[in-house]
């Protein structure tokens, strides 16, 4: 028998009740950290791995709402696209920053690399569903992605008619069909490792951005 169990047995009935009460109190406090906010159907402060889109049940996304979330105000949001549709993993990566700065995170569980990856359909479904269910600030909508997902993110920011406040591209630049131009109306942040096979692309991208007058 462990020391903890022995101590519990020696408490007597009154001590045991107190011990149980403390455990219940601790459990209640842990539940309150991810309790649902009034008016919102999702828990806060934790990653929800699978949210099915209301209008298209074939599509889904992961979701993170910061623990300070309230339905009484509008919130900035980051839509994230992973090349292998790993929505939960993407949400976990940016979770700490989203919590610190107060952002909603919505990574697609459906968008994948390639022409048949369904990125367009996935993006449209996640966009529609989040706007239908969450109070989103229309002036603070961001797109982010890794590799092929970075191209998706940048493509969406370029084509959404001014809806994007910014795009965050990791390990891939602009879509092949879109060259940088002075018409870019959103903040663009890109990063790549010097051993990444897309490094040469980024080395060419910066002069093009400079020449376009976009930055």
Which residue(s) pair with 166 in the sheet? 142, 187
* Helix (H), strand (E) at residue 104: strand 104-107
What's the half-sphere exposure (Cβ side, CA atoms, 13 Å) at 83? 11
- Asked whether 126 and 120 are in contact (CB, 8 A), the reply is no
Q: What is the pLDDT of residue 114?
A: 64
Q: What is the pLDDT of residue 195?
A: 86
* Residue 60 vs residues 21, 87, 119: alpha-carbon distances, Å: 40, 9, 12
Tell me the pLDDT band of 215, cut-offs 50, 70 and 90.
low
Cα Rg of the chain (Å, integer): 22
Higher pLDDT, 73 or 211: 73
Q: What is the pLDDT of residue 22?
A: 39
Q: What is the pLDDT of residue 36?
A: 46
Q: What is the pLDDT of residue 32?
A: 41
How many C-beta atoms surround the C-beta of residue 75 within 10 A?
A: 18
Copy the structure tokens of residue 91: 């949400």
How many C-beta atoms surround the C-beta of residue 209 within 10 A?
A: 19
Give SS3 for 110: coil
User: What is the mean pLDDT of the segment spanning 132-156?
Assistant: 94
User: What is the mean pLDDT of the segment spanning 169-178?
Assistant: 83
User: What is the mean pLDDT of the segment spanning 143-171?
Assistant: 92
pLDDT at 156 over 90: yes
Most confident of 5-9, 52-56, 184-188, 204-208: 52-56
Instruction: State the Cα–Cα distance between residues 123 and 154, nearest whole angstrom.
Output: 12
């Amino acid at each position: 028998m462990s020391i903890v169990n022995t101590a519990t047995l020696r408490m007597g009935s009154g001590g045991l009740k107190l011990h149980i009460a403390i455990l219940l109190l601790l459990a209640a406090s842990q539940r309150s950290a991810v309790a649902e906010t009034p008016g919102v159907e999702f828990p806060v402060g934790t990653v929800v791995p699978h949210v099915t889109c209301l209008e298209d049940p074939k599509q889904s996304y992961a979701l993170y709402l910061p623990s300070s979330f309230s339905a009484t105000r509008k919130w900035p949001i980051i839509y994230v696209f992973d090349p292998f549709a790993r929505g939960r993993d993407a949400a976990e990566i940016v979770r700490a920053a989203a919590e610190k700065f107060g952002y909603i995170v919505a990574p697609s569980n459906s968008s994948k690399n390639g022409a048949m990856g369904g990125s367009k359909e996935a993006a449209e479904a996640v966009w529609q569903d989040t706007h239908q269910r969450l109070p989103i600030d229309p002036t603070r909508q961001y797109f982010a992605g890794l590799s092929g997902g970075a191209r998706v993110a940048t493509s969406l920011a370029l084509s959404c008619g001014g809806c994007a406040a910014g795009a965050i591209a990791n390990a891939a630049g602009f879509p092949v069909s879109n060259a940088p131009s002075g018409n870019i109306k959103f903040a663009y942040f890109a990063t790549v490792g010097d051993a990444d096979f897309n490094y040469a692309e980024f080395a060419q991208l910066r002069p093009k951005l400079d020449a376009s007058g976009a930055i």
